[in-house]
Chain A
């Protein structure tokens, strides 16, 4: 099998795509890339199908050895990136040849690095998606994170395609406070005016309880007049407020149903930005209306549309 041999896997490297859809009625989560901007941009730069797969690398320390020619693209968190020991900038495509070694060292700014090859890795989808969900043992390579010795197969490509993203489109992840736009929704009426005011005027700190499932925040408490609700479907970005008043933002590997009151949901584009934030950094909330939110989301996906 030709492709990448995994020399170093890093501690949490997953194969992902846009997610696994249509099975939430059975309790199967969507999963998928945490930062769609970085992942879709990588595919666009390689002129890939946007539904194909990509590596999501947290914490770096990945080394891959190629046994076939192709083109790769690396985006997302700012990191040390070397091809055959030569430092290379990210948000750029690179032609690689048989025998080349790719190394992702330390992650310097942001949380998640994305690496894909021309036409994606040649693996099978599982239940409609490449996305790895470890707790469900679905997707990726045997439903697990990458490990040393794995082979990531891909088909040879002699594409001469070269692409580099303009600096202005490359995000930075270091502003002091990230603003998350929120649609008031679900049980928002159970939050009194003063509670909403607190919610929108406070800064919240990202706690270490931040993973592919959810991001727990700490800061000013907000309370619902409801103790709990009858369990109901949870969408990407939902903000649950448990009894302790500390918001939890639900992300790609969330449970499909849950029984905490929800004040609203974070606009998905802003969840992608959140995915790159460090534990200990701050977020604040800002209200957005549904028309405006849908237009923003359409604009976002239109960037990646092929003409």
Chain B
């Protein structure tokens, strides 16, 4: 663990130098510890793959005292994967009219579209970070056989609800936006919903599994082709 200065009122804590499940588990553990310390002086805590950014009230802590406070709070941190994680199932329609890159991926991977869908739905994914857009959850890792680099020419508009892959990560686009990920399908699942008190049904604590549904089911859930 290493604590670096980030700005006049924030520090960044690094828990490792690479993306790995172990590092991510430590980040989540540290995030929980900081959140549950219920200290009002913590203004923002942003978890990501291998780090936590902590913004704090400079009228409560200075740089030296926040560092020692965090070092002390996090000193005994160990990987704890035994905790129950709630798995959220996300229904996806993997039809070619919404899975805009399925055919391209099939050509690249020499897999049939059904095999791609089977591989994408067979794993339970961890959430490594949420950002880029509100509710945009970076999930990993997809099976190596369907890992795909980003498109060379990003699309001007990726439709809201698109389920996509970039390298070994997968994600759901919470709104229409430009983007370069490979699109496999579409979901009616809302990742950013002002009607929810929590704004988003997912947090880094959740795990996600995708479930293949028919066009009829997708439409009945409010999905838009």
Contacts and interface: CB of A to CB of B under 8 A. Distances in A.
A121 interface: no
A284 B192 CA distance: 39
Interface core residue of A126, A235, A258, A290 (most chain B CB under 10 Å): A235
B58 A186 contact: no
A26 interface: yes
Interface stretch (A17-25, A81-89, A159-167, A193-201): A17-25
B131 to A, nearest CB: 4
Contact of A298 (B7, B43, B46, B59): B59
Contacts of B58: 294, 297-298
Contacts of B10: 235
B108 interface: no
A28 B132 CA distance: 9
Interface string A172-188: 00000000000111100
B51 A230 contact: yes
A40 B133 CA distance: 29
Contacts of A257: 46, 48, 129, 131-132
A185 B48 contact: no
B130 interface: yes
Contact of B131 (A22, A256, A290): A256
Given A21-B44, A23-B199, A25-B47, A231 B131 contact: yes
B18 interface: yes
Interface in B1-27: 4-10, 12, 18-19
Interface residues of B, number: 42
Interface in A256-307: 256-258, 265, 267-268, 290-291, 293-294, 297-298, 301
B37 to A, nearest CB: 14
A26 B44 CA distance: 11
Contacts of A290: 5, 8, 63
B208 interface: no
Nearest to A269: B8
B7 A183 contact: yes
A25 B63 contact: no
Nearest to B55: A235
Q: Number of contact residues on A: which range applies?
A: 35 or more
B52 interface: yes
Contacts of B5: 183-186, 290
B134 interface: yes
B48 A230 contact: yes
A64 interface: no
Interface string A224-238: 000000111111111
A105 to B, nearest CB: 36
B70 interface: no
A216 B5 CA distance: 23
Contacts of B133: 27
B90 interface: no
B135 A27 contact: yes
B115 interface: no
A24 B199 contact: no
Contact of B8 (A21, A137, A265): A265
Contacts of B55: 235
B19 A230 contact: yes
Interface core residue of B131, B192, B204 (most chain A CB under 10 Å): B131
Interface of B: 4-10, 12, 18-19, 31, 43-53, 55, 58-59, 62-63, 129-136, 138, 192, 194, 199-200, 203-204
Interface of A: 21-28, 30, 126-127, 136-138, 183-186, 230-238, 255-258, 265, 267-268, 290-291, 293-294, 297-298, 301
Report the 4 A-B pairs with minimum CB-CB distance, sorted nearest first: A233-B53, A233-B46, A257-B131, A265-B7
